Copies of this chain bind each other. A is one copy, B any other.
């Protein structure tokens, strides 16, 4: 879950790839390191999920109990015996059949489409059936500004639902993002959580899942092929020839297709009889007249393929010299992924797909997917992807995996539909825990201002994930980077760094959540090197800074049991007053919306737009896109635009380099700095260690 975009603003130069590669990076707080070792012991516990409607669940009796970590001495001695990787933990636990899980959570058989035994798509008709059911409690997991190693939002999310469902006997659901395959085979590895807080089977989570990203790739690239082919055909044919082909005479009769009638209406031509068009109308109808220098639509692959960042296409002689420069993004950066995450029905998705703008005509008009005639086909390609995928945690509690848009050029949150389905399924007293990418200044802000605006849902609590490591960094500790050993400040007790980090970044992130009127619970993701004094200090200052509560979490080593205190704190917090409000009125001018975010969320003095950015704002206003929400594309490594400025920077002007728009997804995205939307492969990618035993069919090397 962590990925889907979090690499983007880390400048993946040759240099730091080399550093990152010199030592296998300590993948994440969730990954296996010398400091993090667990032992798997099978056992039994019961849990029950109380479905909100008929089909009462049977108590599930599959699961495992988790021993606490041995003491350090014992562990070192037993290193060979107890060292287990994430995939070994995942594999040691046999998931219950997804049909059983579905029954436990109250799905009817007809609402489930199994994909193998461990995952299933859930039909949207469920929303109709549970229409009158009250929603459960809605919990967002966000984080403080992270180190480049990540601070464990995904594992906190999974640990929390394990605690709710398997230990506190409260219905709960985790809603997670589907990870891109790129990083799985590239630098970062899998994204199913880690330790005893995982989604299983982790290899299915990390590989094709139920094909949604593949469907997005197919849809995205059909648009791209349609753009270039259309430009070629317009460049080489007369109006009449184009018309004859676009509206062919079949048995002597010419007829517009429905999608063509839509285009005519957008052009203000209220005719339905092809022969009645004037030559001028024919010309306007057949010529999208795309300006090759203003095509914004890129192709995508779900592979870290750096050589596709900038390419020239159309060099075969069959394309008649119509070459142009373009590029590929990683598939999860496709606008179609953002649409999947924001759509609240099949119809809404279809309409958003139709509105996607692929470029600008020579006369300065936006050209849409519907103008290309491709939007119906896109809806057909995406008809299954819109159904969330049901999986389970290590402790057999339900998880929806759905969508995973990039967290900068898009909004970095899992899908509206998964959240909505889950809120109905858990019922009034249940909990849905959903995760926002990056730090709270980005992921949470977009969750509130974009996702909640689209869904109409209102969150009850924010869980803000912090680590002693990241807090020390914000308190002035030395640089933390992937691949380099952690400096001693991060391994030894240092209360002063911790306190400074809490009083800068943690305080600011709590305040940001409070801007939206939502209570905050701080979840301290505990590492083995954290001392009791450090842990106590974080919890104490967090509460002083306005958190409803602050608790240490041990989900990595203990699973749900290690997050029971967090679950209790969240349960308590939902009873607190909640005065949710958006940060800005959607009708404010674009520049004012950007300024509001920069000042109130990031702590900037002001913003400064480049001439290009100003021109774009004018253009979007003129096109009627002025009342869309804002999706900032900013580094996640600082509250400011400067990755090196830790803590809570002030006194800076936020530069807006450019402004772009995803009209189908429905947001304007200002660029603060340079984006990379295509990660690369290092010298020794993860795939070197990934293998399949052809006899047992067991996978090794995914982590």
Contact = CB atoms under 8 A, between A and B. Distances in A.
A171 B602 CA distance: 70
A690 interface: yes
A694 B225 contact: no
Assembly of this chain: how many copies? 2
A218 B327 CA distance: 18
B688 A18 contact: no
Contacts of A121: 116
A168 B215 CA distance: 40
Interface in A233-288: 233, 236-237, 241-242, 244-246, 248-251, 257-260
Contacts of A259: 688, 691
B681 A226 contact: yes
Chain A, interface SS category: mixed
A233 B12 CA distance: 14
Interface stretch (A298-306, A413-421, A508-516): A298-306
A491 interface: no
A249 B316 CA distance: 46
A380 B688 CA distance: 12
A318 B684 contact: no
A690 B303 contact: no
A169 to B, nearest CB: 31
A348 to B, nearest CB: 8
Interface string A296-314: 0001011111111111111
Given A687-B374, A687-B377, A306 B225 contact: yes
A314 B307 contact: yes
Interface residues of A, number: 107
Interface stretch (A400-408, A464-472, A695-703): A695-703
A376 interface: yes
A500 to B, nearest CB: 32
A13 B318 contact: yes
Interface stretch (A206-214, A437-445, A538-546, A642-650): A206-214
Interface in A663-703: 676, 680-692, 694-695, 697, 699-702
25 contacts: A12-B318, A21-B248, A22-B244, A22-B248, A113-B116, A116-B384, A203-B380, A207-B381, A208-B214, A226-B687, A229-B682, A229-B685, A245-B683, A245-B684, A246-B688, A308-B313, A311-B312, A311-B315, A345-B694, A346-B692, A350-B694, A376-B689, A376-B690, A377-B690, A380-B702
Given A221-B305, A311-B315, 8 more contacts: A13-B318, A181-B218, A208-B214, A218-B303, A318-B680, A347-B694, A350-B694, A376-B690
